[in-house]
Chains A and B, each alone.
Chain A
Amino acid sequence: MKAMKFAFFKGCKIPYYLEQYETSTRAVLKPFGVRLVDLEFNCCGYPNRDIHFESFVFSAARNLAIAEKKRLDILTPCKCCYGTLKYAQHFLKENEHLRGDINKELAREGLAWRGKIAVKHILTVLCDDIGLPAIYASIRSPLGNLSIAPHYGCHALRPSDIVHFDDPLAPSIFEDLISATGAKPVEWPRRLDCCGNPLWVKNRGISLSLMRAKITDAAESGADCLCTACTYCQIQFDAIQNAEMSEDSRITPMPSVLYTQLLGLSMGLPERVLGMKRNHIQCDKMPRA
């Protein structure tokens, strides 16, 4: 297989809030010959989009330009970063006036956005670039008796005409990748719904009720565990669920794992890199790393 090289866009939260996502991502990609290059990126721009459009586009454009300068495609494990970079790319492509102004500012530090590089989410890289056959071939200990509910995450999936991630109404990439690990992907009605995290600091009540609806649905659909592939979704379902819902008698805790952890487990990778123990809510049925 041809060696693949990406600029690794980990986003703001991974280093201090979800280290296991970085270590597990690196660990599962390594056997497939994927090299991740660390560049000094800034915030993707998502958090500021609520109040200021240009600063969101510029933040994203700067990241894109930094990677473009190194002629590297971006790989991000976070769906919010992924979506935001894709949205910005779309606006830059579509709006000449905006592109001109952004490039003028970028030029001050010798950067430019030309739209020459691709932004990829880790699931796409695993499924398309590495390919399912290679993933199947890498499995050492299939996770036979696990029922996993894939949580798709909004910003990777929609709006489909901008992100081009998968079919927005009937996506299958996540189920395919879960099947590869030997676990059973669960069909659940709310799999495409929002996790609630974008409202976490803005309106806690709604944020929690969005999450509660999903957890209840996953449990009713027979899932042992949720599976995410997004920094924010995982923080919501793991750390926040643990902190906020442990006293909520209406629901039993629903563990959530990162897809890279799940895959790593089935590839027989060690706990040291997978960081299963860092997850706040443990899944009893999950085999030990």
Chain B
Amino acid sequence: MTTALLGSKFLYACLYIALFACVCGTIFRMARWFFITTGPVAGAPSPVRRGLAVLKGAASLLSLKIFGFLHALLVGIPFQTGILRTGFSRWAMHICIFWGFILLLLMHALDELVTKKIFSDYFSTLDPYQFLRNLFGVMVLAGVCMAVYRRIRHRGPMLETRRADRFAIALLSVIIITGFAMESAKMISESVFNRMMNDFFAGESAGDEEALKAYWSEEYGTSFRTRHYTVNPTLLARGRAVNEQSCASCHSPARSAFVSRPLAKLMRPSAARLEEAGADNILYYIHVLACLLGLAMLPFTKFFHVISDPIAILVSSITDKKNTGRFAALPRRAMELDACTSCGTCSRHCSVEPVYRMMGNRHILPMEKLRDVRALSAKKEVPEDIRSISEGAFICTSCFRCTEVCPAGINLQDQWNASRELLSEKGHPSPHEWIKDFRASEWSDLMLKHESSWKEIDTIKGKYYNLTDDSDVFAPCIQCQTCTNVCPVVAARTDPEEAVDITPQKIMNLLRLGLNNLAMGSRMVWDCTTCYQCQEHCPQGIRVTEIIYELKNRAYDHFKNIDRTLRQADVHEDGEKSRQTEERK
């Protein structure tokens, strides 16, 4: 088998190295699933507990869930229904590459191990194998072309092409193109013809060889440097007869090699040079080495999704989307990080995608969010853009749509829930939480101190509305306290700390005094339940709720870039100092 399989000791050694790398790499990556912690670190279970939880989850197959599992296994994965749901062109692209490559692998690459065992008459140059090899190759190439087209046509944040994608596309192209080119180079090669003649041809009468050459030159495009014959119908007829006798049992007509034969025709003018360079041999080496490179790097490239995606799809077929087990969720989330191919389906269907378009924070998009989850789980140190990551993480309506559309069956919603817990743990919770880090007066002091962080923002204030700075809006306030009296939040305050906070009517007063900064961080503003009672009841027609909304918007803009790790005592001290200097001025 050694020589038959690869024809070279060097390549044979490479095969073993590549296999070894692939197996070790795969084991390594799968083992990591039990060690990576996504979500809150505190109280994270040990790898053993995670493993046991996975086994317990697998045991649930002994129930009716088996039907869902079998459906995923026999329909979902082979027919890629998950991708079909996201669009036909994408499905066509993927199914071409998927089935084209798998069939090439089984029928052509592993012919010694698979095809010959099943079909005893297998011969690579016989039909239907010769035809099918061309067909499968064309499928993969067509798929690759569609992929390239899609990536150019839809390029942007929804379908970003990164190094991993380029590598995968390039490698697939190299494998297929060298495969075709090699077949063509062999067809036109005189030396290959002569070698075959020596090994298999026993000419019965003189002139048979010339006739055969003439016939092969016509039929297969073989290029002979010297010709001792003139082509005529009689010679060709004789050539055909000789071919029938000596070659046809192993060589189907060339037309079934519907890509390689035309390609051979194109290559024919430079046949002599290709012959000299040993093109068929070189192409063979590139072809095989590219395959082996793909194999060796499988666990560390995009190709790993051929292992991780089916696993993710099968896992999702037997698990509840909403109630993920506490322990089993960890290895599952880690596995899913490896299953994401960054196809962008989640981002395209995301409910808050329009928010991304207005706010411009990429971390709002699910595809980017998952990258953030990966970064947060891998690194001990806090990423520089943690505030943007946190902002994005908390802009999510938990609608499950990303989970629903993910062709790999990744439970993205669970990822977001976990990552929000982790971010809270790291001190970057939702705005409504971190706003509580300081009191209104402290925020106001911090604003003075960090003027530069929000000055720029202030230049765009009032782009559409300017309710909080325009005295016409709140000047009519007669301080009748109706807003405060109808406010359910004021009535519901039980915490003494909250009870002394300002009320809606006091907000109007602060605005009139030009002390907007003091209102922005107040509990009243951030605890507003947006019921519009104040606005509805205001006898002066002041848009109280909308003013509160605007204060929240401004507060968020102003505060989000302020470093909240400062100790509260420092804040106060600094605030006092800056106020004193202000006064002295």
Contacts and interface: CB of A to CB of B under 8 A. Distances in A.
Contacts of B531: 154, 158, 193-194, 198
A42 B365 CA distance: 13
B173 interface: no
B351 A43 contact: yes
Contact of A58 (B358, B404, B536): B358
B493 to A, nearest CB: 7
Contact of A206 (B349, B355, B463, B529): B529
A287 B284 CA distance: 77
Contacts of A95: 464-465
Given A53-B465, A55-B354, A15 B549 contact: no
Contacts, number: 142
Interface string B534-560: 011000000101000110110010000
A59 B352 contact: yes
A127 B34 CA distance: 57
Contacts of B491: 213
Interface string A207-243: 1011001000000000000000000000000000000
B395 A48 contact: yes
A105 B492 contact: no
Contact of A203 (B351, B357, B431, B432): B432
Contacts of B552: 50-51
Interface residues of B, number: 49
Interface string B131-158: 0000000000000000000000000000
Contact of B492 (A40, A53, A62, A209): A209
Interface in B196-223: none
B492 A206 contact: yes
A159 B545 contact: yes
Contacts of A155: 530, 532
B488 interface: yes
B115 interface: no
Contact of A16 (B357, B399, B432): B399
B538 to A, nearest CB: 10
A54 B550 CA distance: 11
A201 B432 contact: yes
Contact of A51 (B488, B529, B556): B556
B399 A15 contact: yes
8 contacts: A47-B395, A53-B464, A62-B354, A95-B464, A98-B464, A159-B543, A194-B529, A205-B494
Given A51-B552, A198-B531, 14 more contacts: A12-B351, A15-B399, A15-B404, A16-B322, A43-B352, A50-B553, A54-B464, A154-B530, A158-B533, A193-B531, A198-B529, A201-B432, A207-B529, A210-B529
Interface of A: 12-13, 15-16, 40, 42-43, 45, 47-55, 58-59, 62, 91, 95, 97-98, 105, 154-155, 157-160, 168, 193-194, 196, 198-199, 201-203, 205-207, 209-210, 213
| Ranked 3 nearest A-B pairs via Cβ | A158-B532, A12-B399, A55-B358
